[in-house]
């Protein structure tokens, strides 16, 4: 993929902050010697620019650590991810990494991995389980904090505009995925009790640009441009689709309708600079280095942090956006 020169500002923020303490012991001991490490990686799909950049980050990091990466793409299907994990177990990889498309129904296959003595690192998204010992570590964003930041921006904007009533529509990500659940929860926890805000609809665009377009067309048909004051979209790909549809309908996004998005891909950052998006909550796809350093830790039988979140920023029309270093991924 096109390796963009990524802005110092954005890249300065991808240092990982370790939130919780270290696991006392690696859940399983990995016997591979560093030169022969095989990592099985199940990527969930290729639904967005975020995902494509994330895949590239994993491939590049595995390469620079000298690990062999057995990678499979599940094309947005949980069954295929489960199948891939089973094939990694059968191949006796040293570590399994995967990005769970939704949170539920992973226990069986993860028990199989545990039985085979293969540690599992969750990358990007979390799982819902009663047995936390089924994974060794999680590396990914704090999506709840991202949702809160989106809500905090909206409060600041409403204050600045002196608005006393704003109708919000939400275009959410994949139902039951961690970013969908937590970006919604964080946002609602911040704006939910403020009487100025009314969420009039929430529909899922599955993190896809094409569905972002469909959602926006549907919302405009239901409420009319006058009935919508704010679009809160859970990722840039859907937002970019929604912007096109608004403009075709004669609406000026960023002015007639406020637009709040998440990720920070290059096209969205450009739209922010052009005033078509008001706020982007950053979510970095560059998780590969952190994941592979945990793999290295497991291979060397060192204890590794259980949860690692990247440090992430917010870019909005309150900031000076003229910095040419601000590019996005």
**Interface residue list for ligand GYE (CB under 6 A):** 47-48, 50-51, 124-125, 141, 179, 207, 235, 237, 262-263, 283
Instruction: Compare residues 206 and 229 and give the one whose CB is closer to ligand GYE.
Output: 206
Q: To the nearest whole angstrom, how small is the minimum distance from the Cβ of residue 7 to ligand GYE?
A: 18
CB 167 within 8 A of CB 155: no
Rounded Cα–Cα distance for residues 45 and 47 (Å):
6
State the maximum Cα–Cα separation within the chain, in Å, rounded to a whole number.
Answer: 63
Q: To the nearest whole angstrom, how small is the minimum distance from the Cβ of residue 267 to ligand GYE?
A: 12
Instruction: Compare residues 54 and 251 and give the one whose CB is closer to ligand GYE.
Output: 54
Instruction: Compare residues 94 and 312 and give the one whose CB is closer to ligand GYE.
Output: 312
C-alpha distance from residue 301 to each of 16, 22, 68, 132 (Å): 21, 13, 19, 20
Q: What DSSP state is assigned to residue 192?
A: T
Instruction: Compare residues 94 and 124 and give the one whose CB is closer to ligand GYE.
Output: 124
Vertex 139 angle, CA 238 and 14, to 5°: 70
Q: What DSSP state is assigned to residue 41?
A: E
Q: To the nearest whole angstrom, how small is the minimum distance from the Cβ of residue 45 to ligand GYE?
A: 8
- Nearest CA among 53, 116, 57, 61 for reference residue 86: 116
Q: To the nearest whole angstrom, how small is the minimum distance from the Cβ of residue 83 to ligand GYE?
A: 21
Q: To the nearest whole angstrom, how small is the minimum distance from the Cβ of residue 212 to ligand GYE?
A: 11
Instruction: Compare residues 19 and 68 and give the one whose CB is closer to ligand GYE.
Output: 19
CB 189 within 8 A of CB 146: no
Instruction: Compare residues 213 and 263 and give the one whose CB is closer to ligand GYE.
Output: 263
Instruction: Compare residues 30 and 53 and give the one whose CB is closer to ligand GYE.
Output: 53
Classify 308 in phi/psi space as left (phi over 0), alpha (psi -120 to 50) or beta. Answer: beta
Rounded Cα–Cα distance for residues 67 and 38 (Å):
6
Q: To the nearest whole angstrom, how small is the minimum distance from the Cβ of residue 125 to ligand GYE?
A: 5
H or E segment and range at residue 202? strand 197-204
Rounded Cα–Cα distance for residues 185 and 187 (Å):
5
Rounded Cα–Cα distance for residues 269 and 279 (Å):
9
Q: To the nearest whole angstrom, how small is the minimum distance from the Cβ of residue 124 to ligand GYE?
A: 5
Instruction: Compare residues 229 and 263 and give the one whose CB is closer to ligand GYE.
Output: 263
Q: To the nearest whole angstrom, how small is the minimum distance from the Cβ of residue 30 to ligand GYE?
A: 26
**Hey, which residues does 18 pair with through a beta bridge?**
308
């Amino acid at each position: 993929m096109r390796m963009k020169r990524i802005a110092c500002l954005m890249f300065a923020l991808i240092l990982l902050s370790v939130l919780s303490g270290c696991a006392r012991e690696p859940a399983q001991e990995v016997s591979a010697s560093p030169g022969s490490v095989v990592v099985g990686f199940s990527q969930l799909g290729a639904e967005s620019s975020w995902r494509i950049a994330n895949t590239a980050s994993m491939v590049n990091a595995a390469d620079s650590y000298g690990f062999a990466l057995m990678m499979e793409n599940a094309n947005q299907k949980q069954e295929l991810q489960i199948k891939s994990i089973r094939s990694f177990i059968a191949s006796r990889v040293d570590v399994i990494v995967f990005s769970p498309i939704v949170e539920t129904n992973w226990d069986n296959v993860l028990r199989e991995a545990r039985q085979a003595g293969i540690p599992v690192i969750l990358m990007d998204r979390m799982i819902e389980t009663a047995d936390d010992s089924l994974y060794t570590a999680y590396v990914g964003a704090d999506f709840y904090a991202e949702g809160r930041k989106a809500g905090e921006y909206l409060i600041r904007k409403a204050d600045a505009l002196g608005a006393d009533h704003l109708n919000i529509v939400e275009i959410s990500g994949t139902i039951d995925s961690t970013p969908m659940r937590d970006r919604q929860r964080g946002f609602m926890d911040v704006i939910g009790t403020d009487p100025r805000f009314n969420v009039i609809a929430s529909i899922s665009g599955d993190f896809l640009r094409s569905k972002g377009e469909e959602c926006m067309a549907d919302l405009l048909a239901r409420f009319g441009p006058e009935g919508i004051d704010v679009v809160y979209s859970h990722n840039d790909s859907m937002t970019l689709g929604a912007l096109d549809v608004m403009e075709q309908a004669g609406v000026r996004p960023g002015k007639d309708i406020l637009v709040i998005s998440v990720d920070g891909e290059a096209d969205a950052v450009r739209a922010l600079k052009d005033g078509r998006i008001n706020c982007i909550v950053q979510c970095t796809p560059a998780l590969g280095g952190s994941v592979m350093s945990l793999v290295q830790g497991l291979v060397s039988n060192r204890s590794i942090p259980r949860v690692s979140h990247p440090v992430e920023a917010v870019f909005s029309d309150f900031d000076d956006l003229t910095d040419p270093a601000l590019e996005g991924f």
